[in-house]
Structure 1
Amino acid sequence: MKLFHFSEEKTIEIFKPRVKANRTDMSPVVWVIDEEHEFTFYFPRDCPRIVYTKDDEVTEEDNRKFFGLTSSNIVVTVETHWYERIMNTTIYRYELPSETFKLFDQTAGYYISTEIVKPVERVEIKNSLERLMGMNIDVRFTPNLHPLKEAILTSSIKDFGIHRFANAASM
């Protein structure tokens, strides 16, 4: 199994466990994501985005509403004013050895380790939008993510992620 950490920093030599700002109730850990879900981090660190996936539980009405005219089973939506920053940001994907990591969230593909970890590889990712579209992911832009967030939270979609929403534009 391949596990990755994404960063805008090019020269990380070791990953030390630390307390995550939005999970201060947890002990310090190193966070990684599995290969299946890595695409959710092809964005600048602070970029707010909503990612959702179609599954058998999605109602016909929600399928029309959220997937209507796309052939993709995955949609990523970002606020429009982030477009230029996304296009101009280089992301570095660090592969970390999986031995010390334990599953934290299967739906999101998150794993954690309490040990210091040294990366085994670093890959530079430029033009991440092109990469996403090449994976048959529907990438959408909207002026404001709030209406989509509210719609997702009251829908039949269960496989979704709302990332860095504190950085979303105000309503």
Structure 2
Amino acid sequence: MYLYHFSEEPNIEVFVPRVKANRQNMPPVVWAIDREHEFTFYFPRNCPRIVYTRSEGLSERDEALFFGSSRSDKIVTVETGWYKAISETTMYRYMFPAESFKLFDETAGYYISEQTIKPLQVDAISNLIEKLTAMNIELRFTPNLNPLREAILQSVTLTDFGIHRFEFART
């Protein structure tokens, strides 16, 4: 198995463990994500986004509210103002050997390692919107993420979700 790290920087030669700004209580680590969840990083780094997945136990009300008539099991919603940046950004996917990593969050597909990691390879990924839609992921745009965030946080049955970089969302 391989794990991945995404960046807008094309030439990182080594990943040194560091303390993440929003996880000051953790030791320095290198973060990675599994193949199944890598699509959540097909966005510019600071792009606020909400990702959610249809899963077992979803109430009829939440099914209608969050998925409507969509046939996709995965939906990503971003603010409209990010459309151009998403369209024009190239992301770089760094491939890591999985040996030194341990699972941190199964739902999100996050792994961590306390070791310095040298990537095995780096791939440029452009046409991000096209890549997402080719994966049958529904990409939605909205002027403001706050109403969706509040609805998700109030839901009891929508449990497979991620709210990314919300500090950059419109208020």
Q: TM-score, normalised by structure 1?
A: 0.98
How far has the Cα of 1:2 moved from its partner?
1.9
CA distance in 1, matches of 2:71, 2:41: 22
Q: Which residue of 2 aligns with 1:50?
A: 50
Quick one: which amino acid aligns to residue 121 of structure 2? E
CA distance in 2, matches of 1:72, 1:57: 17
CA distance in 2, matches of 1:102, 1:56: 26
Quick one: which amino acid aligns to residue 31 of structure 1? W
Deviations 1:70-91 (A, max 9, x none): 1000000000000001111110
How far has the Cα of 1:144 moved from its partner?
0.2
CA distance in 2, matches of 1:57, 1:118: 41
Q: How many percent identity over aligned positions?
A: 61
Unaligned runs of at least 5 residues, structure 2: none
Q: Which residue of 2 aligns with 1:95?
A: 95
Q: Which residue of 2 aligns with 1:34?
A: 34
Q: Which residue of 1 aligns with 2:145?
A: 145
Q: SS of 1:3's equivalent?
A: strand
How far has the Cα of 1:127 moved from its partner?
1.0
Quick one: which amino acid aligns to residue 36 of structure 1? E
Q: Which residue of 1 aligns with 2:163?
A: 162
Deviations 1:80-110 (A, max 9, x none): 0000011111100000110100000001000
Quick one: which amino acid aligns to residue 53 of structure 2? T
Quick one: which amino acid aligns to residue 34 of structure 1? D
Aligned CA-pair RMSD: 0.5
How far has the Cα of 1:149 moved from its partner?
0.1
CA distance in 2, matches of 1:38, 1:90: 15
CA distance in 2, matches of 1:130, 1:47: 17
Unaligned runs of at least 5 residues, structure 1: none
Q: Which residue of 1 aligns with 2:116?
A: 116
CA distance in 1, matches of 2:154, 2:73: 19
How far has the Cα of 1:57 moved from its partner?
1.2
Q: SS of 1:141's equivalent?
A: strand
How far has the Cα of 1:69 moved from its partner?
1.2
CA distance in 1, matches of 2:132, 2:3: 18
CA distance in 1, matches of 2:55, 2:165: 24
Quick one: which amino acid aligns to residue 26 of structure 1? M
Q: SS of 2:61's equivalent?
A: helix
Deviations 1:3-46 (A, max 9, x none): 00000000000000000010011110000000000000000000
139-148 or 60-69, which deviates more = 60-69
CA distance in 1, matches of 2:8, 2:22: 20
